[in-house]
Structure formats: structure tokens, C-alpha cells
Amino acid sequence: MPVSLVCGRATPRRTTSTRGFSGVFFTSEYGENLLFKGGTALSKLYFPQSWRFSKDLDFGVTGQYQGSLDELSAALEMVTEHSGIEFTVREHHESRQQDYPTHYVDVSIQYRAVLGHPNTTSLDIMVDERVVFDPVRHTHEYEDVPKFELMAYSIEGIFVEKLRAIFQRGAARDYYDLYQLLEIDSVDIEFEEVYPAFEAKCEHDGLSVDLASGLPADRRADIRHQWETTLPDLTGDPPAFDAVWERLDAAITTNDR
């Protein structure tokens, strides 16, 4: 089952490129068993009118990874022919190692949008990622894209990944996404389901985390700096950092089993 990147609402400059990527996954077998996840899944799939900007594409895998550089290059050539937008693979790196992540694929794609300016986006595929919640099937249809289906992480699955991420790399965007998922009215995070899934994912990744100790305090100053300097480019006017930190810290310690 080929999958397609959801376009969501976008400015005219971004719309052309995202529709092009729809073609990449909709018309080829490259993404046959990929699971859309991460911040871009939140912004393009679940909350297209209200989430922060995110363009890089994160995927998990169900079953065995079947993608290859040749398949991706062939798909991009078809999209270029169909859309008139030039897509090329700048980098394709597949890595296997003993420690987590034991198998992942990083792809950098360049395309020329309006006025011929070069842009890049990345595909990050975690081949060995443990999928702790059942994937969700989504059906979408747009004026210039036929109806298609794609599989994605559930909101709970994305929440668990974001929670794990802050104890590994601690990017400000991960804290923002977690906070928004706790605050948005249409989402109800069930911690009695989230925590066993979080523990299972940490065990799979070889990560030891004591949630009762709260957020990683040694990262607070760095996250604050990111929050004030880079996050506004993604979300405009983010909420106050201290309020977000305290809300998240209270949520994970109060609900810790």
C-alpha cells in the first residue's frame, strides 16, 4: 500500500512542494510500509490549521523496510516529470550499528520551488523503532491529488516518542509539542496507557529514565535558549517557557506510577 504525505494548509510557495512530495509517496512503492510520525505528522495530518511549522519527514516502519535509493530516485524523477519541480537526492545514508538507533536511514532531498530557489527537506526513517501503539489509517483527498490512504502513528504514539526524545536530545520543539498535546481540548492523554508504552520504548532503546525525578534539569538552560531563539521561527509567539516547563514537569511526576 503506497502512502502519501498529507499536504494540510500551506502558503502558495509551500503548497507546490508538498504536493510534489505527495506524488513521491502516492505514485511509488517506496513508502509502502512507512508510518508517518513526528512533528510534521502533527502539523500536516492531525492539526493542519493550528500546529507549529514542520517540514522534515519522520517515519517508522511496519514490517521489513523495503525502500532503496534507486526506488526513491525513480519516484522523484516521476514527480519531477509530472509537476515540473526538480527533485534530487543530495544525500542518502543508511546506517546499522550496535547501539540505538541500530538501523536508520537519513535522506536529504533538494527541490526548486518558486523563482527557482533551491530548498531542502529531509526524510528520517527509523527502521528499528518500536511501534508501541497500533498505527492509524487515514484517508485524504485534495483537488489535484486522488484519494489516498496512509498509515501514521497515533497521537499517543507520537506523545510517547516526544517524551522519550526529551531525555535523549531535548529539542525545544519536542517540549512544545508535548505541552500542546496536553493543553489541546480535543486530545486526552491517558497516562495509564502512555507510561507502559514509554517504558517499553526506553527498554528497546537501552535508555534508563526515572520519570519521578521530573524533566532533565541539566538541560533547562539550553532548552530555554532554544525556546527564545529558534522556536519563534516555527510557531510565531510561543507560550512562556517557565510555564511550559512547570506544566510538563508536574504532568510526568504527578502521573508517574
Worst-scoring range by mean pLDDT, 64-73, 143-152, 180-189? 143-152
Question: Using an 8 Å Cβ cutoff, are 176 and 185 in contact?
Answer: no
pLDDT digits (tens, 9 = 90+) for 18-74: 555 554 554 467 777 889 999 989 988 889 878 898 888 899 998 888 788 888 888
Please name the residues in contact with 20: beta carbons below 8 A apart, sequence gap of 6 or more: 79, 83, 85, 87, 111
Separation CA 176–CA 159 (nearest Å): 11
pTM score: 0.85
pLDDT for residue 246 is more than 90: yes
| Average pLDDT score over the chain | 83
Closest by Cα among 201, 184, 186, 153 to 247? 184
Cβ(124)–Cβ(151) under 8 Å? no
Those residues whose C-beta lies under 8 Å from the C-beta of residue 61, and which sit 6 or more positions away, are 33, 34, 35, 125, 126, 127, 129
Chain length of the chain = 257
The whole-number average pLDDT for the span 83-104 is: 83
Q: Summarize the confidence of residues 150-169 as an average pLDDT.
A: 93
